[in-house]
Amino acid sequence: MTSTLTRVLAVLLPAAAVISNSALAQDPIPPPEALEGAFKSQKHFSPYAGRNFPTHVYWGDTHLHTAMSMDAGAFGNRLGLDDAYRFARGEEVTAATGQRVKLGRPLDFLVVADHSDNMGFFPNLFAGKPEILADPTGKRWYEMIQAGGQQAVGAALEIIDAASKGTFPQSLYYAPGSAPYRSAWEETIEAAEKYNEPGEFTAFIGYEWTSLVPPGNNLHRVVVYRDGGDKAVRTEPFTMFRPAGSTNPEDLWTVLQAYEDKTGGRLLAIPHNGNLSNGMMFPLVNPVTNRQLTREYAETRIRWEPLYEATQIKGDGEAHPYLSPTDEFADYETWDKGNLNLSELKTREMLQYEYARTALQLGLQVEQQVGVNPYKFGMIGSTDSHTSLATAEEENFFGKHSGTEPDAMRWEHPVLALGDVTILGWEQVSSGYAAVWATENTREAIFDAMMRRETYATTGPRMLVRFFGGWEFTADDAELRMPGGVGYSKGVPMGGDLPVRSGNGAPTFLVGALKDPFSGNLDRIQIVKGWLDGRGQRHEKVYDVAWSDAGRRQPGPDGTLPPVGNTVDVANATWTNTIGAPELLTVWTDPDFDASQPAVYYARVIEIPTPRWTAYDALRFGITMDPEVQMTTQERAYTSPIWYTP
Amino acid sequence: MNEKLTRWLREPLFHFLAIGVALFGLNLLLTRGDSAAEADRRVAVTETEIRWLRDTWQSRWQRPPTERELRGLVDDYVRQEVLYREALTMGLDRDDEVIRRRMVQKIEFLTSDLASQVQPTETQLQAYFQENLDRYLIPERRSFAHIYFNLDRRGEAAVADAERLLARLRDAPPGSIQPAELGDRFMLQHEYPLQREQDVARTFGQRFAAALFELEPGQWQGPIASGYGLHLAYVVAAEERQVPDLDLVRPRVLLDYGTWLREQANDAMLASVRSRYTVEIDEAAIRALALGGDSAAGDR
């Protein structure tokens, strides 16, 4: 028995030797101003420098989960806030499965958006805190998770299921106001403060309000703070479990307003995954009151929700083939089997209330009825990764959660399953990122750009996209050297409203895209128009406005542009940029314009085919996947729209 | 809790003392009988245990237990304790994945906790900073202008076009050149002030960035290739690589130091523990049981 003491000390002493001679904890040292980025230098030699419009796109992920999210933890993620930020800033970290991983290029900003319900629960469940083990369910979950592997995945599915069905044990719930919850939120804030470095990297304070309307309909929102920790710490995140929380978005907006009133701070909320909401994301009838949307609902929603997350790992949400049958690109990474836990299957009637393109048109309809458009949103993409790793690169995709990090089997394991309905690993989308046109890389500048919707979504690549609308753009403007300059001087950027109509003409759009130098060439730029006819009925049309290889590609008699071709060598996961164009730029005038009809326009940029992440997996693990598995992809960008109101 | 006490509690020495005292107490308790074996068969439910049972109950139910409830808790505790010890004696803890993981985790928590409580002294931080100086160097910065040639538009003629323009530019008087007006239109900027190589790489790709940082400043050169096409480039100013003062990068160094310390502490603990075991691995079995492909020779 006496040997126990010696043994324990022997184990700990080497560690102590490393730590020894260390001083006591000090107060954190304020960050020096001196590191503010190279871009802020006033020593321009360029005659074009000093312009007051944004000339730079900043790239980020507004939706990343760490081990602080209970489901992320349940899936085996042990990477916390530090790892998430270090990784986004371009450093190499060790993933939960032990693999070393690094981003091809660092990101400029990050919102760690851990679930507000049960925030911090998982690190404590994992540590086997006595109050958790005292509960029989808590104890069982603890044991399943300790066992790891598929057992842990089973626990995670159970936990998510319990949360989505509202059967999460009350005695286990980490509620706002409790000590462990408070400390989880403070940790979240501290980490953002620590890694936020104005000019170099922006770490937003944020969280995800994970509203699931039973039986499991996804109404999630990511809440983003413009403010620093001094304000954010004064209230706690809004949750969905009663009594403190609610699954009704209107209650979230009330809480956001209360925060701003109390602190003078600023917030915005970003909804995501309408595709898993089973018709509830963009309603015409408020499901809470069972009445048509009111003006107050519309005003409040658009006050808080200037953006929509249109693409992410759990499916692309721009368009659906059933809603857009003539759009050959509409069926892109579609997830339409049911709601978030597949407890309710999808019906066709639901689809129109789920996808961004149709929602933009629904917004015009509501505006006709109540005078305000609740769905006047811009677009961003993000990952919703639960691995603490913001990966959206096809050749570097670490999956939805730690159970789907790279291995030879991940393509065939279900990521969602209920009964015989399953969504398999290969169906995960290596997507997406948020692009923001901002004047500098700070919380304030990026947040303000989000509020004015000067943003676009991509499915991963970092192509540069410009989109301006006005009444006076001419073909010459597309030949100009500086399309940005003429864009701002003659029109409004993406996210804006067309100026009041002058003359009798149709609206004109200056649209351009420059490829991501690391990714595929560009196939085409399209403009997607949605409008209402004289009877208030919705319509949409997709126009090809600029495309590559114009010498050999012209629209056929039916107006369809031939495909760009395909250079992908699936077996070797390579492609060549011998087709497509590095840059496309044009001025387009709406040929079907009717000045009496409200309309909404956005640009969609499509790359040539490149290998999908599954092709890299097949090559690296030497495996053959089922024939139904997609092996190539055409990555894309969706800009925020520009609106016309008669 | 007041500041002084909190600081004191974070002191590693205190942790060791506390652990030591606790173990010593445990040791006394367990060896109080005539022999260790006898002590193993003795279950003492003292005020300490009862208080702990009471507090756990209270935190769950928001009230203290009644006497009957408390007796129930004690019975349960005794049942758990004797079965737990019996199970240990029977060796049921071995080969159980859940228990193994939990024990490993507890030992790792001990070192990580210690490491995370500690802030380095100025001398330690300085030493760490000097040792890892290359990570904190303020990299060289270059300002440059470039002229773009679109391969898609010009095809094979692009190289010749670029070279022809280059010859003209070499004779042009300084200040007479507007890069934005030459070559092909380019949606990004034509001039970039004070860029690090990594900044250029993010926009133009690694190959272009590396080439640009090899160029001799003060004249038009190229063409060099990027992900977009070909470029002529002119490096107009160079700011040498600088060694920063620690104060300038202190927050980053502190973050890195913390991460490093945690890893070191865990590694040192593992290495020390492992050195006290003789580990024998059946190499032949690994080769026999593994999926074919990479040979053992490749590991060397």
Q: What is the pLDDT of residues B72-118, one digit of tens each?
A: 999 999 998 999 888 888 888 887 877 888 888 788 777 777 777 77
| A572 CB neighbour count, 10 Å cutoff | 10
| A639 CB neighbour count, 10 Å cutoff | 30
Any A CB within 8 A of B191 CB: yes
What pLDDT score was predicted for residue B36? 53
User: What is the SS3 assignment for B207-236?
Assistant: HHHHHHCCCCCCCEEEEEECCCCEEEEEEE
Report which residue type is found at B146.
H
List Cα–Cα distances, B291 to A282, A621, B286, in angstroms.
Answer: 51, 12, 10
Cα torsion through A415, A427, A513, A471, rounded to 10: -80
Give 3-state DSSP helix, strand, coil % of chain A, rounded to 5.
Answer: 30, 25, 50
Any B CB within 8 A of A586 CB: no
Choose the weakest-confidence range: A454-463, B36-45, B73-82, B205-214. B36-45
Name residues 134-173 of chain A within 8 A of B (Cβ). Answer: 134, 143, 146-148, 171
Task: Select from A1, A20, A482 the Cβ nearest to the Cβ of B180.
Answer: A482
Looking at the predicted structure, is the pLDDT value of residue A203 above 80? yes
Question: A46, A82, A476: best mutation site toward chain B, by most B Cβ within 10 Å?
Answer: A46
Instruction: Please list every residue in chain A whose beta carbon sits closer than 8 Å to the beta carbon of residue B248.
Output: 32, 34-35
Q: What is the ipTM of this complex?
A: 0.70
Give A349's pLDDT tier (boundaries 50, 70, 90).
Answer: very high
> Could A583 and B24 be called an inter-chain contact, meaning their C-beta atoms sit closer than 8 Å?
no
pLDDT tens string A45-70:
444 444 567 888 999 999 999 999 98
Cβ atoms of B143 and B236 closer than 8 Å: yes
Any B CB within 8 A of A615 CB: no
Rounded Cα gap, residues B220 and B44, in angstroms: 87
pLDDT tens string B261-274:
888 888 888 888 88
pLDDT tens string A263-309:
999 999 999 999 999 999 999 999 999 999 999 999 999 999 999 99
What pLDDT score was predicted for residue A419? 83
B100-111 burial code (b ≥16 CB/10 A, e <16): eeeeebebbebb
Strand order in the sheet with A206-209: A206-209, A221-225, A267-271
Torsion region of A510: left, alpha or beta (phi above 0 gives left; psi -120 to 50 gives alpha) = beta
What pLDDT score was predicted for residue A44? 41
What pLDDT score was predicted for residue A91? 92
* Mean per-residue pLDDT, A304-326: 98
Tell me the average pLDDT of chain A: 89
Any A CB within 8 A of B195 CB: yes
Name residues 451-490 of chain A within 8 A of B (Cβ). Answer: 464, 466, 479-484
Name residues 39-68 of chain A within 8 A of B (Cβ). Answer: 41, 43-46, 48-49, 55
What pLDDT score was predicted for residue A19? 55
Choose the weakest-confidence range: A147-156, A417-426, A584-593, B276-285. A147-156
Choose the weakest-confidence range: A432-441, B26-35, B104-113. B26-35
Looking at the predicted structure, is the pLDDT value of residue A36 above 70? no
Any B CB within 8 A of A504 CB: no
What pLDDT score was predicted for residue A27? 34
What pLDDT score was predicted for residue B25? 54
List Cα–Cα distances, A581 to A512, B103, B124, B278, in angstroms.
Answer: 12, 58, 54, 62
* Mean per-residue pLDDT, B38-60: 84
Q: How near does any CA of chain B get to the CA of A145, in Å? A: 9
> Could A582 and B228 be called an inter-chain contact, meaning their C-beta atoms sit closer than 8 Å?
yes
pLDDT tens string A466-524:
999 999 999 999 887 777 788 998 999 999 999 999 889 999 999 999 999 999 999 99
Question: A4, A5, A6, A12: best mutation site toward chain B, by most B Cβ within 10 Å?
Answer: A12
* Mean per-residue pLDDT, A536-554: 95
| Predicted structure pTM score | 0.78
Structure tokens at A217: 């309909």
Rounded Cα gap, residues B279 and B300, in angstroms: 19
Q: What percent of chain A has pLDDT over 90?
A: 71
Report which residue type is found at B296.
A
Choose the weakest-confidence range: A48-57, A83-92, A428-437. A48-57
Rounded Cα gap, residues B219 and B174, in angstroms: 10
- Of the candidates A92, A90, A642, A336, the residue with the CA atom closest to the CA atom of residue B263: A92
